[in-house]
Chains A and B, each alone.
Chain A
């Protein structure tokens, strides 16, 4: 089922949770709503689910106006961050719930229900846990039960509200991959909410970045990561170094580096900043580039993070650079060493827009 939002807005008292949202989710897509807390991503998901009614705008399901449809009529599966399993029911009963509350003429026979529940439990690799109670399961297992329960009613759309937020990183990683596989196998439309850019990039086909109740950017993960349209998106999707851009004699500079060749100087605001990701900094010998001193070295598995104090930059705001382990072992930087910096890529934004 395809979903479309047209000019959707929602206020909570004085607070505008989301405003003027237009979004198209094609059938079978896996979309991430990404943003910091309070950006309205959960409100948007709840509006799609029918758990909130928007104050303005329309929600379309397959082109039909579903704005005022009750939750029950929408055929959506909703998965909460904290699972919301029914504590007084066994795992089996939890998964069977949606099948058992159907009106009598639509309900499957009890043997059919048992079969279906068992196959769903097998699908989420919990075939053995039917008799257990939620309190007896780990967080990852509970979330899989919640997924199986949502899938039991054969939803057209699966909505997940920070589904892996309460899990530790190992389990989270496994579940992300598993969700992606499940989505590819079952072909429903999925929308999930996350504040974790890594998660969004890893799992989703399309990322919708939200900020203060508005859509900042919408695109495939690589596009959003590599070509952010605003400083906010650039900052939110990974680490960045912020450097002031100075304009002198019709040319633009980051520190001593002339960037006029690749920058539209005439369009650059007098107060601008350049955002550079850690892996976009190239470290060379002292004589070349922007002189800097290595102030810290940290080996993190396959990458090495260096903190660099560039000449003319405040000492308490060192730049962060990332190089591969191999490169590090070849050159072997040490604290106090003098180096020269180059930037492989950067993007310039007006400084006042930076706060937004």
Chain B
């Protein structure tokens, strides 16, 4: 009876269902799969050896290394920032909370190019801090620190945005219970808060990492495009493309695409290996629903 009911309800909607699923699939195919396929076809158009040569190029290697370094600095920093911001917003009441939430969204709202220009304005040779930096022989703009700063700016909403709803829906009761049982703040964080948010956190980290590696606009402005020094992978791809070196451009692009695919595969694998994830969502939602009564 219970199983027959929903089927009867959906039957009149059958054409609509087919139409919706079909539209989604066609759209995905046209705008995602086809370009992805094009990247790999183009990269391998002149054979595997040409592909490998293009990747083994020292300049390409330098770009790959720089991209990994930038991500390795930006992601952990945003991890700390994201957890701290989400914690503050979800668990405490304070003045200016809404302003903080709006500010976290700022990088989503402004164009990455403007983000890049802001850093030039601040740290460039004619910028506000340009003089001080020059005196101390510190180079920010057109150097690695500038790229890292721009990347952090562009990617900082990802983890916080992912965690805020998770933490808000869980409320404070778990932490309060842990404290009443004699746990220290630190123990409470590691044993109660972190396990509760780990999936949201992981997903945020994956998204943040993908964006950190793929960021073009902001990084392009502050990088200065110095080959082998300040070129990240996306910038390197553009340079190669502008030089009509399509095979090399697409070879490096295929690596970026591969990183993205690996990120997604990693996420799916985690979800698949942890059925607990689905189970964990249930009671949390249940609890918030009840609280609203």
Question: When the two chains form their complex, are residues B176 and A84 in contact, meaning their CB atoms are under 8 A apart?
Answer: yes
Given contacts A80-B173, A84-B176, A135-B282, contact A101 B291 (CB under 8 A): no
Given contacts A97-B191, A166-B290, contact A49 B182 (CB under 8 A): no
Cα A98 to Cα B178 with chains together (Å): 8
Size of chain A's interface in residues, with CB distance under 8 A? 28
Given contacts A98-B181, A101-B181, A135-B282, contact A88 B276 (CB under 8 A): yes
Question: When the two chains form their complex, are residues A71 and B279 in contact, meaning their CB atoms are under 8 A apart?
Answer: no
Residue among A72, A87, A133 making CB contact with B196, cutoff 8 Å: A87
Q: Mark A50-75, 1 if CB is under 8 A from B, else 0.
A: 11000000000000000000111010
Q: Mark B254-286, 1 if CB is under 8 A from A, else 0.
A: 000000000000000000000010011011100
Q: B15 at the A/B interface (Cβ < 8 Å)?
A: no
Q: A349 at the A/B interface (Cβ < 8 Å)?
A: no
Name the A residues within 8 Å of B191 (CB-CB): 86, 97, 101
Q: B53 at the A/B interface (Cβ < 8 Å)?
A: no
Cα A134 to Cα B287 with chains together (Å): 13
Question: When the two chains form their complex, are residues B182 and A102 in contact, meaning their CB atoms are under 8 A apart?
Answer: yes
A274 CB to closest chain B CB (Å) equals 35
User: B residues 181-204 with Cβ under 8 Å of A?
Assistant: 181-184, 187, 191-192, 195-196
A10 CB to closest chain B CB (Å) equals 14
B41 CB to closest chain A CB (Å) equals 45
Name the A residues within 8 Å of B173 (CB-CB): 80, 82, 84
Cα A84 to Cα B286 with chains together (Å): 12
Given contacts A82-B290, A101-B184, A166-B290, contact A87 B177 (CB under 8 A): no
Question: When the two chains form their complex, are residues B282 and A101 in contact, meaning their CB atoms are under 8 A apart?
Answer: no
Name the A residues within 8 Å of B3 (CB-CB): none
Q: A78 at the A/B interface (Cβ < 8 Å)?
A: yes
Residue among A84, A135, A150 making CB contact with B174, cutoff 8 Å: A84
Cα A70 to Cα B280 with chains together (Å): 30
Question: When the two chains form their complex, are residues A97 and B183 in contact, meaning their CB atoms are under 8 A apart?
Answer: yes
Residue among B174, B180, B282 making CB contact with A86, cutoff 8 Å: B174
Q: B179 at the A/B interface (Cβ < 8 Å)?
A: yes
Question: When the two chains form their complex, are residues A88 and B181 in contact, meaning their CB atoms are under 8 A apart?
Answer: no
For A74, A82, A150, which residue has the most chain B Cβ atoms within 10 angstroms? A82
Question: When the two chains form their complex, are residues A72 and B183 in contact, meaning their CB atoms are under 8 A apart?
Answer: yes
Name the B residues within 8 Å of A150 (CB-CB): 180-181
Question: When the two chains form their complex, are residues A84 and B177 in contact, meaning their CB atoms are under 8 A apart?
Answer: yes
Given contacts A86-B192, A135-B279, contact A72 B179 (CB under 8 A): yes
Question: When the two chains form their complex, are residues A51 and B176 in contact, meaning their CB atoms are under 8 A apart?
Answer: yes
Name the B residues within 8 Å of A71 (CB-CB): 176, 179-180
Name the B residues within 8 Å of A51 (CB-CB): 176, 180
Residue of B nearest to A134 (CB): B283
Interface contacts (Cβ under 8 Å), in number, total 75
Given contacts A84-B173, A84-B176, A88-B276, contact A149 B283 (CB under 8 A): no
Question: When the two chains form their complex, are residues B180 and A49 in contact, meaning their CB atoms are under 8 A apart?
Answer: yes
B250 CB to closest chain A CB (Å) equals 44
For B177, B280, B284, B290, which residue has the most chain A Cβ atoms within 10 angstroms? B177
Name the A residues within 8 Å of B187 (CB-CB): 101
Given contacts A80-B173, A82-B290, contact A88 B180 (CB under 8 A): no
Cα A75 to Cα B228 with chains together (Å): 61
B48 CB to closest chain A CB (Å) equals 46
Name the B residues within 8 Å of A74 (CB-CB): 180
Name the A residues within 8 Å of B280 (CB-CB): 87-88, 135
Question: When the two chains form their complex, are residues A135 and B182 in contact, meaning their CB atoms are under 8 A apart?
Answer: no
Q: Mark A265-285, 1 if CB is under 8 A from B, else 0.
A: 000000000000000000000
Q: Mark A84-105, 1 if CB is under 8 A from B, else 0.
A: 1011100000000110011000
Name the A residues within 8 Å of B284 (CB-CB): 87
User: A residues 125-175 with Cβ under 8 Å of B?
Assistant: 133-135, 149-150, 152-153, 166
Name the A residues within 8 Å of B276 (CB-CB): 88
Residue of A nearest to B183 (CB): A101
Cα A70 to Cα B284 with chains together (Å): 27
Cα A339 to Cα B284 with chains together (Å): 56
Q: A77 at the A/B interface (Cβ < 8 Å)?
A: yes
Cα A82 to Cα B196 with chains together (Å): 16
Question: When the two chains form their complex, are residues B182 and A101 in contact, meaning their CB atoms are under 8 A apart?
Answer: yes
Q: A76 at the A/B interface (Cβ < 8 Å)?
A: yes
Cα A195 to Cα B174 with chains together (Å): 23
Residue among B180, B184, B196, B290 making CB contact with A78, cutoff 8 Å: B180
Name the A residues within 8 Å of B178 (CB-CB): 86, 97, 101
Residue of B nearest to A106 (CB): B182
Residue of B nearest to A101 (CB): B183
Name the A residues within 8 Å of B279 (CB-CB): 133, 135
Residue of A nearest to B178 (CB): A97
Name the B residues within 8 Å of A78 (CB-CB): 176-177, 180
Name the A residues within 8 Å of B179 (CB-CB): 70-72
A164 CB to closest chain B CB (Å) equals 14
Name the A residues within 8 Å of B180 (CB-CB): 49-51, 71-72, 74, 76-78, 150
Since A77-B181, A98-B183, A135-B279 are in contact, a sample of 15 more A-B pairs with Cβ atoms closer than 8 Å, ordered by chain A residue number, is A50-B180, A70-B179, A72-B179, A82-B173, A84-B177, A86-B177, A86-B192, A86-B195, A87-B280, A88-B195, A97-B178, A97-B183, A97-B191, A101-B181, A149-B177
Sample 14 A-B pairs with CB under 8 A, ordered by A number. Answer: A72-B180, A74-B180, A80-B176, A82-B173, A84-B174, A86-B195, A87-B196, A97-B178, A97-B191, A98-B183, A134-B283, A149-B177, A150-B181, A153-B181
By Cβ-Cβ distance, the 4 closest A-B pairs, closest first, are A98-B181, A84-B173, A101-B183, A78-B180
Q: CB within 8 Å of A: which residues of B?
A: 173-174, 176-184, 187, 191-192, 195-196, 276, 279-280, 282-284, 287, 290-291
